[in-house]
Amino acid sequence: MEIRYDPMIRAPVAVAVTIMMILFSVTDFIGFKLVLGTFFGVEPLFAIIIMAASVAAYVSIGGFRAVVWTDLLQYILLAGLAIYVAILALGLTAQKGVSLLSASLVLGADWWNLFVMGGLMGALVFQLALLPGWVAEQDPWQKIWAARDERSEKRGLLLGAGLLALVYFCCLITAIGLSVLYPRPGGEVEAEMLYLKVISDNVAPWLLALLTIGFAAASMSCTDTFATSGASCISRDLIQRHLWPTATMKEMLITNRILVIVMIAISASIALNVNSIMDAVIIATVIGTTSYFFPIIGGLYWRRATKWGALSALIAGGGTQILLISYELFWHKQPLDTISPLLTEHGVLAGLSLSALFFAGVSLLTPPTEDIRLAPFFPDIAEKVFGRGIPAVDRRSLRYQEVMERIEEKMAGDRAHLHLFIDFLPVRADGALMPEEMKWDLFVEKIKKMHTLWFTPTGSHIVYRLSQADMLACVKMVRGDTSQIWLSAEPRREQRERQKDEIFLAYEEIEDALLEFGMTPVIRA
């Protein structure tokens, strides 16, 4: 969002996402302690310690790659669990001679009435609240940016949304079946416990152990993702962006792993004192959905969207949603749909409507976004901004050959991953070493003034050489260590040679800027 709109968007979004990630992680700890407590009588404190220690260990050691691979395995177990329990509930109702249709009719005549905000319509609103919120959340987009190519990105996002909808649908079927098997629960905690009760009452001990693994997998899968996403928001969007802009990549890696453990510890502490899962999930999701769903999706497809429209949508949508939830919890002390059916699920429709209205209205009333920010998202504007091509380079020169030999290249899908590591040494004209350390911010400003293609849409810690609309393919410069510069690019397979030329040009421009500080670059072997 910062690239599309303006740096001022970054901090409020980071705070909102971090709060959401903590709330989501809390629900997973609650689920894990309820499962172990219900099935095996494990004390809540010990259950939470087991989960916190396990997740902290494999995330800290394996990093984001460990999160992605464990998520894949754990989601398979989660989906299998949801499908099995739905089939179990339907089978038990069938044994009583009650079909799914009959079971849903038992819920009341209003169940099938699409004009009544309850029953089937309530389930649809629930999907409306959760699925857009999931699409706009930090954690799936973090995986999208880490995907090996665009095809994997699109397939992963669509598959994730589809499988998430499948789990929600299975939970809906299970709830209908449980309405026949048990008396209607008096609250959300009692309703959540029925899910565990139908399993413990009807499953053999050996299968119960396998299902417990499924529950554990689901809890850990979500918690590791939420912890890494929340830690990333704090480390990259707040600490590195505002508090420690000169931090190196190695320093930020250490900081991020410490923050992952802190996020897990905070969530675990809250979970010891909270027992309701579903309400925390819905509250976290509707806040996210009403805050930044329209700024994110609208910014990708509507070029007239502006930073002021996005900011007003964040404030109006998210602020209204927080006020509605606060009123419901602390003053009204009962669901808002007792006031009006349109306020079901904490009034998410009101928050979404205001967010959309402010996003569109304020965007149309404020000046359009500059082309340099639109170019990475809209091909026709990119052609206008970047259509001049790149200067020719002499590929036969010894200097060019030396740089090419040091570029590390790996293929992943339809993308090449190119890396060049540069050390910079402070020297005088006579070759004597100078002890002074180069100021990174001053260097970034210097190279931007000397060569206009260098751009910092997300702060001085990441500098892009914007020569085309595909920002993954553009050369990116970061500070690897106190005396290192790391260059990287992820061009499409057919663009590899062009981007190697771009890296060579970037190296020469970096050399020009370093000379202004009395330093010289040395390519690492």
Closest among 39, 48, 317 to 200, alpha carbons compared: 39
Six-digit token string for 369:
């976004």
Q: What is the mean pLDDT of residues 186-214?
A: 76
- Residue-wise pLDDT tens digits, 50-72: 888 888 876 766 655 655 666 66
pLDDT at 12: 78
| Other beta carbons within 10 Å of 101 | 10
Instruction: Lowest mean pLDDT of 32-36, 150-154, 347-351, name the range.
Output: 150-154
The C-alpha atoms of residue 33 and residue 372 are separated, in whole angstroms, by: 50
- Residue-wise pLDDT tens digits, 124-170: 655 655 555 555 555 566 566 666 666 777 777 777 777 777 887 88
Instruction: Lowest mean pLDDT of 96-100, 135-139, 309-313, name the range.
Output: 135-139
Element (H, E) at 424: strand 415-426
Cα-to-chain-centroid distance, residue 241: 18
Query: In this prediction, what percent of the chain has a pLDDT beyond 70?
Result: 81
Closest among 455, 447, 405, 401 to 424, alpha carbons compared: 447
Instruction: Lowest mean pLDDT of 172-186, 383-397, 465-479, name the range.
Output: 383-397
The C-alpha atoms of residue 337 and residue 282 are separated, in whole angstroms, by: 15
pLDDT at 469: 74
End-to-end, the C-alpha distance of the chain in Å comes to 37
Entry pTM: 0.61
The C-alpha atoms of residue 57 and residue 227 are separated, in whole angstroms, by: 12
pLDDT at 418: 93
Q: Which single residue is written with the structure tokens 């705070």?
A: 15
For 498, counting Cβ atoms within 10 Å of its Cβ (0-12 exposed, 13-18 middle, 19+ buried), the class is: middle
At position 119, the amino acid (one-letter code) is: G
At position 12, the amino acid (one-letter code) is: P
pLDDT at 482: 76
Q: What is the mean pLDDT of residues 396-401?
A: 89
pLDDT at 254: 84
pLDDT at 63: 58
Residues forming beta bridges with residue 433, ordered by sequence position: 427
Structural domains for the chain: 7-365 (1.20.1730.10), 398-523 (3.30.310)
